[in-house]
Amino acid sequence: MNGTSQHTTRWTSYCLEWADKSHVLAVLMLMVMGIVMFAPGIATLQPMDRDEPRFAQASKQMMESGDYVDIRFQDEARHKKPVGIYWLQTATVELGEWAGISEAKSRIWLYRLPSLIGALLTLFGTYVAGLALLSRKAAFMAAILTGSTILLGVEARLAKTDAMLTATIVWAFAVMLHAFQQWRHNDRISADDHPVSLGFVLCFWFSLALSLLIKGPILPILMALTLVVVWLSQRDLGWFKTIMPVWGPVLTLLLVLPWFVAIMMKSGGEFFSASVGHDMMSKVAGAQERHGGPPGTYLLVFFGTAWPMAPLFCLSLPFIWKARRDAIVVFLLGWIVPFWIILELVPTKLPHYVLPLYPAMALLVCLAAERGMISSAGRGVKLAMAGLVLPVFVLLAGLAGGSVWLGDPLPVLALVILLMALWPIIEAARALHKGLIAQTGLLAFAAMVLVSAGVYMAGSPVLQSIRISDRLALAMARPECADKHLAMLGYSEPSLVFLTRTDLQFLPPAALVAFLQKPGCRIAGVTANQMKEFDAARMAAGLDLAPVELVKGFNINGGKRLEVSIFVRRDNQALELKPEASKP
């Protein structure tokens, strides 16, 4: 073993030893490591269309209107998800305003804080779940593996439901795992003996309530599927009764029902028909919003979204097969397999749907490692080593090639940071070859920290062509216009609404010309593919107008290059084009 490997083994061993000293220290380490992992880029990443700005804008409108019951995006009712995430987002933004942050309602990073907190809670919940079946070190490693996955890192930075939903699911399952293990180890004790602490029981029912308020029935569905699998294996669900006091469902209903009753009264039942009848059933019936894919899609993308945990999980499959009748393995498989199959069969495919299953996979990896059932020899290990290292090269090539193709400056700092990430990930592959699974996980985590910093913090701001809504909002700000009215033709991404104003109008050509002829300062954007129709309508109305600015970019949501002309008409006077404004 050379000096570099000795140093690597030494610091990873120290990390594990510190985590093993106490639960408090382990949780503090997870919190610091999670912040280091998830925080880079949370303030610099642009609002990512389309779901994130829809959530953020709806929360923003709650604060603007003072209506915290109904959920709306501009004038449209947004009755797809319950109110939980909107309340959490408004709470963080209003806390930011209280703290004196200027223009807090327009700061996307404040809306992302609940997702960051949800990602941290997912780490803590995975650790607590691991303590039911693993040593403290192994439980700590399960949390690290979960936190290292690309998918959780992405969701931690987006103002959406999925990171917080995953937190509620992993905490509910952590309580279930502790109840299941205590029931097994205490000769199937009676529910009346209350082997699970009151704190755990409260945590379970609060997690269920918060989950229902965030994304409806996902957690109950996952629980039901797991309970069916465990019952088929054990023929007894007495353990589940130990966390089912009479007051548990009552507490959940008290937390959940007020808003559901309020929205039913306010919408006249429209919320339930839209969220269940339209949103949920349309995903089952067909691919929603072009997010379709055949069965097996999640299995294919797993190797990217679950990196760097994915190669280790693949190496754990022989153990999982051999131990498939082990009660705890059955429980974890019940958490993963039925829901995964359902997701593969549903036509709508979105990568984040499988995120709540990743903590269970991390627990299986650490269970296999703790029992010495992950082999360090053979072709599988070589493939796993390649699976650890190759994605960093792919990211390097993609970032460099993408910036050249888009016409942006080369993100030199980001590429340097990604090159630095090669050292820990190569060391992780070497540790895996030696059978040092814990060191592999910690080194992979270190690589992911560098990858996150490189991509989100150093790379994203350089790629200005993909930040088209940011640049359009800046072009439409027009400080010379005190009382401005905004409209857009041909580009209708929700991020532009969030970055400008709630009353931004999306108009067809004739209506846009009429908009520009009204009094006051009128600002409009027109995409190149709509310019012919706009010019025809403008000439028919006798409106003499020239663009004042040209914004060029690439819409990653539509996968198309865009060119948007900005028109300004103030007090019936058209402003002229600034020659330097055409530069991107």
* 348/482 Cα distance (integer angstroms): 45
pLDDT the model gives residue 160? 97
Give dist(CA 123, CA 4) in Å, integer: 29
Give alpha helix (H) positions in 216-347. 218-234, 238-241, 247-267, 270-272, 281-285, 297-305, 309-322, 327-345
- What does the domain layout of the chain look like in residue ranges? 3-278+303-370, 467-582
Radius of gyration of the chain measured on its C-alpha atoms: 26
Q: Global pTM?
A: 0.93
Nearest C-alpha neighbor of 352 from the set 41, 45, 122: 122
Answer yes or no: are the C-beta atoms of 414 and 462 closer than 8 Å. Answer: yes
Amino acid at 509: P
DSSP β-bridge partners for residue 526: 489, 565
pLDDT at 186: 76
CB 38 within 8 A of CB 157: yes
Closest CA to 165 of 240, 232, 95, 220: 220
CA distance 98 to 101: 8
pLDDT given at position 366: 97
In the structure encoding, which two tokens stand for residue 363, read together?
Answer: 């627990």
DSSP letter assigned to residue 292: B
Q: Helix (H, G, I), strand (E, B), or coil: what is residue 527?
A: strand
CA gap 38, 121 in Å, rounded: 12
* CB contact set of 250 (below 8 Å; sequence gap of 6+): none
Q: How far apart are CA 489 and CA 177, in angstroms?
A: 54
Residues in CB range of 155: below 8 A, 6 or more apart: 115, 118, 119, 162, 163, 166, 352, 355
Residue 555: enclosing H or E segment and its boundaries?
Answer: strand 549-555
Closest CA to 546 of 519, 571, 518, 516: 516
Q: What is the pLDDT of residue 580?
A: 41
| b/e map 268-305, b = 16+ CB within 10 Å | eeebeebbeeeebeebeeeebeeeebeeeebeeebeeb
Asked if 517 contacts 541 with a C-beta cutoff of 8 angstroms, the reply is yes
Query: Would the CA dihedral through 6, 12, 15, 21 be positive or negative?
Result: negative
Tell how strand 505-506 and strand 521-527 pair up. Answer: unpaired
Rounded-to-integer distance, Cα 57 and Cα 501, Å:
9
Helix 327-345 with 297-305: angle, nearest 10 deg: 120
pLDDT along the chain (584 residues), means of 10: 49 86 95 97 94 97 96 91 96 97 96 98 98 96 97 98 98 97 73 73 97 96 97 92 93 96 86 66 53 87 96 96 96 98 93 97 97 88 96 96 94 97 96 92 96 95 95 92 92 96 96 94 96 96 92 91 94 55 41
Give CA 83 to chain center in angstroms.
Answer: 17
CA 366 to chain centre: 24
Confidence at residue 10, expressed as pLDDT on a 0 to 100 scale: 74
